[in-house]
């Protein structure tokens, strides 16, 4: 009889196999990719985003309304519910909810090649005639922005946050920065 704390080879093999079969935990949408939009308005969804996004998802404005977002259906519902709650606090938020609803397209899906046909109305509103876009993880959603705007935002970041560690330290102290 084996001691209670020993592991038989078959147990170790089974444990390793179980660990291999488990999907890693979802860490949020992260990473940045540059892709083109073809003449039909289709965009390739980066492979690393496809599984966590799900087979069915929503296309809608980003929380700041400045770009196109891809949300999981639960993520889109959460954003919608946040806006609905704001309407109860301040009637002006109705305009935000209306705009979010106007440019929301739920039950979207990618084709077999991982391409999404971006709805023309939101594409025109936030991407204009851009043919090259950055598809960025934004933790809770995927953000799509013209590549030229993304490069400009990167440069502005460096100017605005010249010393990010100092800013973080000040925030941790509870001081305004």
Could you give all domains of the chain from N- to C-terminal order, each with its CATH number?
Answer: 26-147 (3.40.1550.20)
> Which residue is listed with tokens 């084996």?
2
The Cα–Cα gap between 1 and 21 comes to 30
Q: Which two tokens stand for residue 73?
A: 């259906």
Per-residue model confidence (pLDDT) at position 22? 78
Q: How far apart are CA 53 and CA 141, in angstroms?
A: 8
CA nearest to 62, candidates 90, 34, 83: 83
Q: What pLDDT score does 19 carry?
A: 55
The series of mean pLDDT values per 10 residues for the chain, 177 residues long, is 45 50 82 96 96 96 97 97 96 97 97 96 96 97 97 92 90 76
Residue 25: per-residue pLDDT: 82
Q: Report pLDDT for 3.
A: 46
Per-residue pLDDT at 175: 64
What local confidence, expressed as pLDDT, does residue 8 receive? 45
Contact yes or no for 142/53 (Cβ under 8 A): yes
> For residue 87, what pLDDT is reported?
96
Encoding tokens for residue 7? Answer: 């592991």
The set of residues, in sequence order, having a beta carbon less than 8 Å from that of 66 and lying 6+ positions away, is 126, 145
Torsion of CA 164, 66, 32, 24, to 10 degrees: 90
pLDDT value for 27: 86
3-state percent breakdown (helix, strand, coil) of the chain, nearest 5:
45, 20, 35
DSSP state of 29: B
Evaluate if pTM is beyond 0.95.
no
């Amino acid at each position: 009889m084996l001691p209670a704390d020993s592991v038989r080879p078959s147990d170790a093999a089974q444990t390793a196999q179980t660990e291999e079969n488990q999907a890693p935990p979802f860490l949020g949408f992260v990473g940045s990719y540059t892709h083109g939009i073809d003449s039909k308005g289709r965009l390739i969804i980066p492979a690393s985003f496809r599984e966590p996004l799900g087979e069915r998802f929503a296309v809608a404005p980003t929380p700041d309304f400045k770009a196109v977002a891809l949300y999981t259906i639960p993520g889109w519902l959460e954003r919608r519910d946040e806006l609905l709650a704001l309407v109860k606090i301040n009637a002006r938020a109705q305009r935000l909810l209306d705009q979010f609803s106007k440019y929301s397209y739920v039950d979207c899906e990618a084709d077999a090649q991982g391409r999404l046909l971006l709805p023309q109305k939101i594409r025109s509103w936030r991407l204009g005639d851009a043919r090259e876009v950055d598809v960025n993880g934004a933790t809770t959603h995927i953000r799509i922005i013209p590549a030229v705007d993304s490069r400009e935002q990167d440069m502005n970041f460096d100017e605005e946050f010249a010393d990010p560690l100092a800013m973080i330290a000040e925030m941790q102290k509870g001081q305004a920065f």
